[in-house]
A and B are shown apart, each in its own frame.
Chain A
Amino acid sequence: MSPQAWINLAYLAASMLFIVAFKLMTGPRTAVKGNYLGGAGMALALAAASAACFEKDVVASVARSGATPLVLLGVAAVIGGVIGAVMAVRYPMTGMPQMVALLNGFGGAASALVAGAELWNMTRRAVETGSERADAAAWAASQLAPWTQFAIATALTGLIGAVTFWGSFVAFAKLEELPAFKKAWTDPKRHWVNLGLAIATALVIWGLCANPGSVALYILLVLLGSGLGCTLTLPIGGADMPVVICLLNSYSGLAAAAAGFVIDNSVLVIAGSLVGASGLILTAIMCRAMNRSLVGVLFGGLGTTSAANADDVYAGKVKSASAEEIAMVLEGADRVVIVPGYGLAVAQAQHAVRELATALEKRGTTVEYAIHPVAGRMPGHMNVLLAEADIPYEKLREMDDINPTFPETDVAIVIGANDVVNPAARTDPQSPIAGMPILDVDKAKTVVVVKRSLSPGFAGIPNPLFAADNTLMYFADGKKAILDLTAALHGA
């Protein structure tokens, strides 16, 4: 077999490893192995690609100047690897969505750069081949002319890559709650801006197909894609971020697949499309969980706020309780369901919650956790945060599973969750979250809401649950509240 055949075989093996890696992601125990196999596949693919350079490396070191590709590549890989490892070890679990957004963005940018580099190389190769001919320039153009498919693939890589990078950057800024990005850009003019950018993008892609070797057009396309990445993500509200993260994840995969079309490399196409599929599935799941269409998330903004005014909803009806009073209620409870929201993670109260659950279980109370699909800020985020606090995942119940059990629940403790327990989603068709599947905590005999104030959640709307007859509000910082509650329970 030729060296190239061996390299292709290694790519095939790497592709198979990726598929098995995804396959093993179905259970927490096998997933560890899956992650190793994914890493092994990546290492194999990178080694094979480097081996392809080895031949050129020798030629370059003999015939050309001092810089050899492998040294150069080694330096780049070490720089990137160290930055990645440091980020991965340092980032807190609460910041996982931001971390994933950043990594997505880097992946997308890398794909756009790969396509750009190949465009440069391709043009040069065509020129070099024809350099001995009298009509060198015309010959080069004729060599590139039939490459419409190449041009389309290059254009798509540049476009998706740029959208992914800038979209991820904006998503990161929103998730980090950087002041400049706190408010969604809801100016109706944005639709015209997007439309203008989209038309310009289409024209440039068309131009690139007509002149497949044009580096200038490619750069213009990447700039337009960068603009689109920003203008498409800026209007999206904080509550919709889980959808955006999934979608960007999908884009980063599709950009890699498109780059595979550009350089004619099947492992890029396979791995990229696996990731693209994964991101699309998660996007669909997130949209369903929020009862929103993808188009609505991307272009709709958050809609107008409901007629319900915070003062009308809360006035005189909110009952506040102390730790001791709540401990007395908990004392008589047989079944307690804890509803954790992102606020719990912000307050770093996961461990305190586990201690409260242990104290309750010692008294013979059943404790379970109700996890809304969009609890946290990315799919499955809350499960990770609770796992970090050693809460066994068997006790974490999914929404459809636990909702029918709320009427038999004595106490539901809502900690740092708001929109996902807002009964307005069921009752008020005017509400911006109307129809969103929620956890029916209001059906529990008693609801305890731990919250610092009556401030609204991501959706920016009041929550009638806080004013319900069976609701006790416990105004305090999440962690301190749970610790006090546990202490009061021990004292009772």
Chain B
Amino acid sequence: MPMLVLAPLLATAAGEDPASRFIRLLTVFLLAMWVGFEVITKVPQRLHTPLTSGSNAISGITAVGAIVVAGAMVTGMGTVFGFLALVLAMINVVGGFVVTHRMLAMFNPKKK
């Protein structure tokens, strides 16, 4: 059983050294930043508030991290922190998407 819990640590240790892993993630980070700049400069001023709240919802992606760390259930503290992180991140995710939807609905009034 311990082998299963340890799998991520061992896999990384065996396959990829920490520096390579860091550079791989840095590559992803910089490319995604670039794409972000290219795409978002085209958003017009009048949509900046929905953009802010929508991107806010997406920053709740850290919920995935919360699931990973809490779901591993390796340590009590880790699980408690992960649980709290998931609660907060889900507020961010659901709150962000719902409020963005509410705003965008006002920009596109339905024929009454």
Contact = CB atoms under 8 A, between A and B. Distances in A.
Contacts, number: 423
Contacts of A41: 58
A81 B106 contact: no
B46 A378 contact: no
Contacts of A114: 62, 65-66, 68-69, 81-82, 85
A209 interface: no
Nearest to A388: B106
Contacts of B65: 110-111, 114, 118, 256, 259-260, 262-263, 265, 268
A280 to B, nearest CB: 8
B18 A269 contact: no
A370 B98 CA distance: 29
A380 B95 contact: no
Q: Is the interface on chain A under 10, 10 to 19, 20 to 34, or 35 or more residues?
A: 35 or more
A198 to B, nearest CB: 24
A50 interface: yes
A58 to B, nearest CB: 10
Given A38-B58, A84-B98, A107-B89, A125 B51 contact: no
A219 B7 CA distance: 27
A450 B33 CA distance: 44
Given A114-B66, A114-B69, A271-B59, A77 B43 contact: no
Contact of A52 (B61, B71, B77, B79): B71
A138 to B, nearest CB: 17
B21 A149 contact: yes
A269 B49 contact: no
A56 B72 contact: yes
Contacts of B74: 120-121, 124-125
Where chain B touches its partner, the secondary structure class is helix
A375 B9 CA distance: 51
Q: Which of A50, A147, A262, A272 has the most CB of B within 10 A?
A: A272
Contacts of A55: 4
B91 A87 contact: yes
A321 interface: no
B18 A149 contact: yes
Q: Is the interface on chain B under 10, 10 to 19, 20 to 34, or 35 or more residues?
A: 35 or more
B62 A107 contact: yes
B59 A275 contact: yes
A257 B85 contact: no
B99 A91 contact: yes
Interface in A400-434: none
Contacts of A48: 64
B89 to A, nearest CB: 4
A88 B94 contact: yes
Nearest to B76: A120
Contacts of A39: 57, 97
A60 interface: yes
Q: Which of A27, A59, A274, A373 has the most CB of B within 10 A?
A: A274
Contacts of B69: 114, 117-118, 121, 263
Given A23-B39, A267-B64, A379 B52 contact: yes
Nearest to B105: A32
Contact of B67 (A73, A259, A373, A380): A73
Contact of A53 (B10, B54, B67, B89): B67
B40 interface: yes
Q: Which of A84, A93, A261, A379 has the most CB of B within 10 A?
A: A84
Interface string B18-49: 11011001001110110111011111111111
B33 A107 contact: no
Given A56-B73, A120-B77, A149-B18, A281 B52 contact: no
B68 A269 contact: no
B54 A21 contact: yes
Leading 8 A-B pairs by shortest Cβ distance: A80-B90, A277-B36, A380-B48, A53-B71, A84-B94, A84-B95, A379-B48, A88-B98
Interface of B: 1-2, 4-6, 8-10, 12-13, 17-19, 21-22, 25, 28-30, 32-33, 35-37, 39-75, 77-109
Interface of A: 11, 15, 18-19, 21-23, 25-29, 31-32, 34-35, 38-39, 41-42, 45-46, 48-50, 52-53, 55-57, 59-60, 63-64, 67, 69-70, 72-73, 75-77, 79-85, 87-89, 91, 93, 96, 99-100, 103-104, 106-107, 109-111, 113-114, 116-118, 120-122, 124-126, 128-129, 143, 146-150, 153, 215, 245-246, 249, 252-253, 255-257, 259-282, 285, 371, 373, 376, 378-381, 383-384, 387-388, 390, 393, 396, 398
Given A48-B64, A110-B92, A121-B75, 13 more contacts: A23-B39, A31-B107, A42-B57, A69-B71, A107-B56, A110-B86, A114-B85, A117-B66, A117-B80, A120-B81, A272-B59, A273-B33, A275-B59
